[in-house]
Structures are given as C-alpha cells and as structure tokens.
Chains A and B, each alone.
Chain A
Amino acid sequence: MLALFGSVEQGIIYAIMALGVYLTFRVLDFPDLTVDGSFVTGAATAAMMIVLGYNPLIATLAAVIAGFIAGCITGLLHTKGKINPLLSGILMMIALYSINLRIMGMTREGGAGVSNVPLLNTDTIFTMFQNFWGSLGIDDTISNMLREMGVESVPTTYGTVLVVLIITIIIKFIADWFLKTEVGLAIRATGDNKRMIRSFSANTDRLIILGLGLSNALVALAGALIAQYSKFSDIQMGVGMIVIGLASVIIGEAIFGTKTIVRTTFAVVAGAVIYRMIYAFALRVDFLDTGDMKLITAFIVILALVVPQIIDKQKEKKRKAKRMAERNAAHIPAPVEQGGNPLA
C-alpha cells in the first residue's frame, strides 16, 4: 500500500515527462532521444542551484529553461544541420552527459565532473509546501479516518501527492490549450503533413525547433521535480527515460484512446501513473531485481506495441468470417474481393 502510494506520487511527476515525449513522438512525429539527457539536465540544474542556495522555485524554473535550450539545439541540428532526427537526439543526449557532469560540478570548488548531488538538508519545492501544508493538520485528519477504516500503514503526508497533482494538472491543461492555438495547430500539422503546412506559410523548421524545445522543457521539469522528490540528482537517472516515456504514452493511449487532444493528454498522464504502478508490482516479485526494470520496461513497450496489432488482426478475421457465414447462409456467391475504393 505504501509502496503503491509512492509510485503514484512518482508517476504523477513522470507524467510531465511523458507529456513531453507525447509532444515529440506523437504530435511532431519526431522520435526525439534527447530526453535521456535533458531529464538529467533538469535534475542537475535544479539540484546544483538549490545547493548553491537559490530558491527551489527559481532553481526549477532554471531547469525548465535549460531543457528548453537543449531541445532547441536538437531541433537546430535536425533542421539547419540536416541531421536525421534519431541521430540529432542521440548526439544531443551524448553531449548533455558531459554538460550534466559540468552542471553538477558547479556545486564543488574545482569539481569538473560530479556525478551525484545529494539534497539532504536543503529546502525543495516539496519541503516548502510541506511547511505550509503541515500547519493545516489535514494529514492527521485523513490518516485517522483511514485508520478507522482499517487501513494499517498510512503515508506520512498527502501534501506531496497534492503538489505534484496540481502541477501536472496545470501542465496538462496548458498543453490542451496550447495545442489548440494557432501555433499549436501549426505544430500539429507539421507532424501530420509538412508539405501542406508549408503551403500555408508556416516555417516548419521553426515549429520543429519550438516543439522540441517545449517538449524537453517539460522533460527537464520532471527531472527537476524527481531530483527534489528523491533528494538527489545523479548522472545515471536519465537512462532509459525515453522508453519509460514512450511506455507511458502507449499504455495510456491503448487504455483511454486518442479521440481528442484533451482525452489523449489525459491518457498520457494516466499511462505514466499506471506504468509506475506496474513497475512497483514488478519489484515485489521475488526473483526480480531493480536492475531488471529496464528489461521489463522494454518488454512492456513491446507488448503494448504488438498486442493491439494482434487484437486488430483477430477482430478483422472474425469480421470476415462472420460476413462469409452470412453470405453462405443467404446462398449468395461471394463476390471477388475488391480493392478498397479510396474515393468511396
């Protein structure tokens, strides 16, 4: 129960990263691998600034800006440097590895490459909120209620889940709004049909750069929040982040559908939380180790990609069989299968 509560809190933070991944992979149709690097950039920037004594809010804002810049550079590599999307992202990810070590190195004198910055006795966004939240005494009220209902182990606070929920919901609504503005429509069209949007006087290069910047700004925000949540920033914390983001998007879309933008962004957020819960359950399995999680994540993504195809095929087969059966029952000879008329 407690482990599950923690994974919900984390899932809600990772949802911000998943929204960033959704923006590139789905909206822009750009498989951006910068994410593994920009997530750490966000964490490193926030941790470094907090350690240096900056207000956690300002540190988090700086992390967002750093992520935005990183994404824009990936966009520049692709649009101006004519480098293939995957390679642009990989190059940026590798470059960020060194940059992230440097950023964390700024916490120590002469520390060029520091791979871990702890945030033990420092303020974070969460402790700041806790100071205010704790004084309200709501935690005790809820916990007592739960205990009366027979729940044994209760979380120490509900403040954290509330903050992350508020932040994530605000970002979801901003994303919904943005994707319906004139610029947002142009970004979506860039992912959908570049030739078309160019013929309507949109500079696709600029839109791709902007889209990548915004996406990585969200990823870096998630990194900054995770660093403050888990009270450290580490050079390894971004490994496989892109696959986790993708897993969240795919799981969410498969369960909740993609009918409208509002629905899809909700699906992505929910997908991220569900992914974290699956992760928590998998860790409970005795023969599995934390190190196996990347394998499990890859497995989840493969499953989420393959299973819908199989289901579709099965449905198609059933439909065909049903039609043939109806036809045979009516004694009508089956007509020659015709190619789908694209104009019909």
Chain B
Amino acid sequence: MLKLDRINKIFNEGTPDEKIALDNINLRLAPGDFVTIIGSNGAGKSTMMNMISGALMPDFGSVTIDSNDVTRLPEYKRAHFIGRVFQDPMAGTAPAMTIEENLAIAYSRNQKRGLRFGVDKKRRDFFRTSLERLHLNLENRLTAKVGLLSGGERQALSLLMATFTKPSILLLDEHTAALDPSRADLITKLTKELVEADNLTTLMVTHNMQQALDLGNRLIMMDKGQIILEVSEDKKPGLTIPDLMTEFEHIRGEKMNSDRALLG
C-alpha cells in the first residue's frame, strides 16, 4: 500500500545549520495497517509525513503508493490518495466557509472539479448522515461558518473530511495535541471508529504513549531521523510504556528523554 525506500532529507545542507532530518528511512505498510509513530521532538516524524504527502521532496529515495511511484508527484496530485489531519485545528478547514461547503471541497478530492454546484440536495443529505457519526450535532449546523466552531469541533470535522472519501493513506500528525484532554479523547475515539469503519491504511504521530499503544496494529519509534524500533502486529498487544522505555535505553544506550511530550 505504502512503501518508503531509503528516504533521506537534509535541511540547510552545507550551512552551519545543517540538519539531517531523515536518515535512510525504510517503511512498508500493508493495506489496512494502522501504524502509530512516537519519538522525541525533532526526531523527524513530521518530516516523514511531509515526504509521504508531497509537501516536501526527499533528497534521495522513493515513495510508492498503491504500487505507483509518486516521489516526484506534487502535493496536490498525491492528495487524490492521501487524507490528512494537521496538528493545528485551524489548518484543516476553511474558516470563512460553511460546514457544508468545507465538506463539498473534501468530497471533490478524488474527482475533477467542475461547474456543478458544490452542495446540492443529494450531497447535503450525504453530508448530514456523515456528520451524524461525529455526535457533535454539526448535522444541524450545515450552514454555520467553520470559523465559529471550537477547536475540537473543527478537528472532528477535519477528520471526517480527511476520511469520508476513503483515501488510500490517512496521515494524522499529532492531530489531538492542541486539544484539552476530554476533547482529545473524543477525537481519539472518532479516529478509531472512522479508521476501522473503512479499514483505512493509517499513519498517526503522537506524543501520547498510551494513545500510541491503544490505537493501531503496529508501532514505530523514531529518533534522530531514523526508525529505531518497529513493533509488529503480533507483539504490539502486550506492549506497555515501561517496555518502550527499556527498549529505547537498550537501543540508544541512554535513558529516554522523558520530557513532558513523550509521556503525554
């Protein structure tokens, strides 16, 4: 489904600020895989997501989606196969437009946009039933401007918009990090429901280790631009936070930088 081959990315190459953000990343996802990604700040998690979405191009290596080499495909073309939710609740929706208009934009993701009305009767019914799955009563606020929604509501809407066209790959980059705990839990629950409903192939970055253990069938840990640990489908169910900490020490020969973020 998704294949990353020897991806390398260096920022500011040849300057004193040189930074190896990704160092020979190899990753394979089978259809329906749900991989959670943990790692300290600056480990390269977001950079890896940006390589997959096409927001950044690798210096070296290739990205394959559905056996198509998309390495040189611009972001907007890859978006046909990729759904994304960003960390910033403001980033995934158009605030000056209404809920139904935002959904209409998401709806046209994998079609050619034409001169048809973005929102017609049939689509509005579909949007309404889709919104009901969020249990936020948004189905009764179709013509409200998205800028009026709370961060949690916007993130739930972003999640729906990213998933309801059933993308080949779903990328979630700390999409609950900007929310308070109860709303974060709600979005986590929704993520689980929406991903499971369509069996979406998903990559989710999180700083919350518990969340990383609870969700998904696989887990990877990144550090300094490398994938240092891969937990397979059969090992993941029994895994605990202390297990992860010991693994890290074992691999890196140093204590895990137990900053706030890592323990969530």
Contact = CB atoms under 8 A, between A and B. Distances in A.
Interface of A: 178, 180-186, 188-189, 192-193, 195-204, 342-344
A198 B105 CA distance: 11
B115 interface: yes
Give the dominant DSSP class at B's interface. loop
User: 4 smallest A-B Cβ distances: which pairs?
Assistant: A201-B79, A182-B113, A192-B94, A185-B118
Interface of B: 53, 75-77, 79-80, 82, 84, 86, 90-97, 101-102, 104-106, 108-110, 113-119, 150-152, 161-162, 179-180, 183
A200 B150 contact: no
Contact of B76 (A180, A192, A203): A203
A189 B94 contact: yes
Question: SS class of chain A's interface: helix, strand, loop or mixed?
Answer: helix
B92 A199 contact: yes
Contact of A180 (B77, B114, B119): B119
Contacts of B114: 181-183
Contacts of B113: 182-183, 185-186, 202
B118 A196 contact: no
Given A200-B105, A201-B110, A343-B180, A188 B96 contact: yes
Given A181-B118, A343-B183, A193 B95 contact: yes
Contacts of A198: 75-76, 79
A200 B151 contact: no
A265 B77 CA distance: 33
B53 A185 contact: no
A180 B117 contact: yes
Nearest to A192: B94
B152 A343 contact: yes
Contacts of A180: 117-119
Nearest to A182: B113
23 contacts: A181-B114, A181-B117, A182-B104, A182-B108, A182-B113, A182-B116, A184-B118, A185-B118, A186-B105, A186-B113, A188-B97, A189-B94, A193-B95, A195-B86, A196-B91, A197-B105, A198-B76, A199-B82, A202-B76, A202-B105, A204-B76, A343-B150, A344-B150
Contacts of A200: 79, 105-106, 108-109, 161
